[in-house]
């Protein structure tokens, strides 16, 4: 018996979509375990790599040589949502902050250059206190530098006290590069995050952030390298972090803020015309 025209008219429409598969999640889990093994145990990385390879093969077989598809039935026309009819009604737009209009926070941001300057200044203040600790407590300027370099040089983490107090050119170079890079990076984070926090930037940047950072470093270092964690003088570490936070927070807070693009008209944000606020900022520079 052959299907009639009415049967074809009543048959639901179908489209083909890629069939659901869990292999991408298996690959993602394997990659995660592979990197997690770098800070835990090599066996975790081995399991992660094997799991990622198995997931990759399974995912490959889902798409080659032909994609595995799944037919999906569409709703009848009378049950589908109505077509959207365009309206010519003009929408009145509120100004920023007018009538309770919500704005994106922050309305003003600090320039990135302030974060770089603050990071450099905070890094110098932190280095001065660290060197003072090494000279007063350890009787060596090289002790804090070698201890910082131990993050990238595992041999120094298990070195003797005499070796940590001795001069090492490689440790000096690595410690300077690591300290400078982290200081500038944290300074940029201060420039981005501080404007989004409530006022009293010196409290947030000078005390709360350093204490949170110290707690995080202490917890992570106690798991990753307990030997290195035991060599850190944590009261001095907290004092140096607060010095960094106060210096960086002061420099960032004192910088001239820039108005965000949300205050510009749409044409200015799209680049069609110049914004008055942007032109004024360029003249000030």
Q: Distance between CA 4 and CA 10 in Å, rounded?
A: 10
**Per-residue confidence (pLDDT) for residue 26, from 0 to 100:** 92
Secondary structure class of 53 (helix, strand, coil):
helix
**Per-residue confidence (pLDDT) for residue 51, from 0 to 100:** 92
274's CB contacts (< 8 A; 6+ apart) are 268
Q: pLDDT (tens digit, 9 = 90+) per residue, 155-208? A: 787 788 888 888 988 889 998 998 899 999 999 988 888 777 766 777 888 888
50 has pLDDT over 80: yes
Task: Report the chain's mean pLDDT, rounded to a whole number.
Answer: 80
CB of 249 closer than 8 Å to CB of 189: no
133 has pLDDT over 80: yes
Q: Categorize the per-residue pLDDT at 28 as very low, low, confident or very high, splitting at 50, 70 and 90.
A: very high
**Per-residue confidence (pLDDT) for residue 48, from 0 to 100:** 92
Of 192, 140, 213, the C-alpha closest to 171 is 140
CB of 167 closer than 8 Å to CB of 175: no
Beta bridge partners of 259: 108
Neighbours of 258 (CB within 10 A): 18
**Per-residue confidence (pLDDT) for residue 35, from 0 to 100:** 92
pTM, rounded to two decimals: 0.54
Q: pLDDT (tens digit, 9 = 90+) per residue, 194-228? A: 777 766 777 888 888 888 888 888 888 777 777 77
């Amino acid at each position: 018996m052959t299907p009639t025209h009415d049967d074809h008219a009543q048959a639901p429409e179908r489209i083909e979509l890629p069939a659901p598969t869990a292999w991408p999640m298996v690959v993602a889990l394997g990659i995660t375990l592979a990197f997690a093994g770098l800070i835990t145990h090599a066996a975790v990385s081995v399991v992660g790599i094997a799991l990622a390879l198995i997931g990759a093969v399974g995912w490959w077989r889902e798409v080659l040589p032909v994609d595995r598809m799944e037919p999906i039935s569409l709703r009848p026309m009378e049950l589908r949502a109505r077509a959207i009819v365009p309206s010519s009604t003009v929408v009145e737009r509120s100004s920023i902050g007018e009538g309770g209009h919500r704005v994106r926070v922050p309305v003003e941001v600090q320039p990135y250059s302030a974060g770089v300057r603050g990071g450099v200044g905070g890094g110098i203040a932190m280095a001065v206190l660290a060197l003072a600790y090494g000279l007063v407590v350890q009787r060596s300027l090289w002790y804090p530098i070698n201890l910082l370099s131990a993050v990238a040089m595992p041999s120094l983490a298990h070195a003797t006290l005499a070796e940590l107090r001795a001069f090492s050119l490689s440790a000096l170079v690595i410690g300077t590069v690591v300290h400078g890079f982290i200081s500038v990076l944290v300074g940029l984070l201060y420039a981005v995050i501080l404007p989004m926090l409530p006022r009293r930037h010196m409290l947030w940047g000078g005390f709360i952030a350093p204490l949170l950072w110290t707690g995080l470093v202490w917890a992570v270092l106690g798991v990753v390298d307990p030997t290195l964690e035991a060599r850190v003088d944590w009261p001095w570490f907290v004092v140096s972090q607060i010095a960094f936070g106060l210096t960086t927070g002061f420099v960032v807070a004192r910088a001239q803020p820039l108005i965000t693009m949300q205050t510009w008209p749409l044409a200015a944000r799209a680049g069609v015309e110049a914004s008055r606020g942007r032109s004024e900022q360029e003249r000030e520079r």
